Amino acid sequence: MISNLAAGVQAFTSNAFLVDGERTVLVDAGANFDAVGAIRERTDGLDAIVLTHTHPDHIENVSAVREAFGVDVWGFDPDHELVDHAIGDEGRVRLGDHEYSALHTPGHKDDHLCFYAAEPRILFAGDLIFQNGSFGRTDLAEGDRETLIRSIDRVRETVSEELAALHPGHGPSIEGDAYQHVELAGQAARF
């Protein structure tokens, strides 16, 4: 089961997805809300935090969650102070009951990862792809439009055309016709 702990939060935050199952994992911790309390409302424990990238709105709650649950943090950049373990490009990570492949997808930020599981056809897109063809900003440090386009293309070529769910870093999750939103983002980023 996947639930967005930041749903309904009226503050600047990223989505923070609790993936419950065999291995209960938080995908991004968000900012400016009580993530620890939100986790405790839904589950007794947490096994890990996995980061799509290290922009402040995705990581502000990491220290509190790590302390409360005694978990390690996984991300692309092991030199970042909050990352305990590196996940390399095409590395594998268990989220809930499924194995996900990490896709290094820079363009919004150099350490950006998306996570895709072929069996349930689920994509955690971070700040690369959003609903209705929106895509990640490239006007921040480490942002680059051409690199972002290549990253979107890589995701489009990797995921199934029958993508069941796309969970972005901001905005609503997409279930049904999720692949169309990936295609739209690639088109929109080119203009």
- 48-50 β-sheet, strand order: 2-4, 17-19, 25-27, 48-50, 72-75, 85-86
pTM of the model: 0.97
In this model, does residue 94 exceed pLDDT 90? yes
Residue with tokens 């972005």: 168
Output the six-digit token pair for 66. Answer: 């790590």
pLDDT at 139 over 90: yes
| pLDDT recorded at residue 67 | 97
pLDDT of 90 reads 97
> Under the phi-then-psi rule, with left for phi > 0, alpha for psi from -120 to 50, and beta for the rest, what region is 28?
left
pLDDT at 176 over 90: no
Q: What is the pLDDT of residue 148?
A: 98
Sole residue written with tokens 């939060």: 9
Per-residue pLDDT of 77-87, as tens digits, reads: 999 999 999 99
> What was the pLDDT predicted at 183?
97
Q: Give the Cα separation of 78 and 1 in Å (integer).
A: 28
Instruction: For the chain, give the mean pLDDT.
Output: 97
Residue 142 has pLDDT above 90, yes or no: yes
For the structural domain made of 2-189, what CATH number should be given?
Answer: 3.60.15.10
Name 92's bridge partners.
101
Provide the residue ranges of all domains of the chain, joining segments of one domain with +. 2-189
pLDDT at res. 95: 98
CA distance 191 to 177: 23
Instruction: Report whether pLDDT(17) > 90.
Output: yes
Q: What is the mean pLDDT of residues 51-64?
A: 98
Which is it for the CA torsion 99, 176, 54, 155, positive or negative? positive
Share of the chain above pLDDT 90, in %: 97
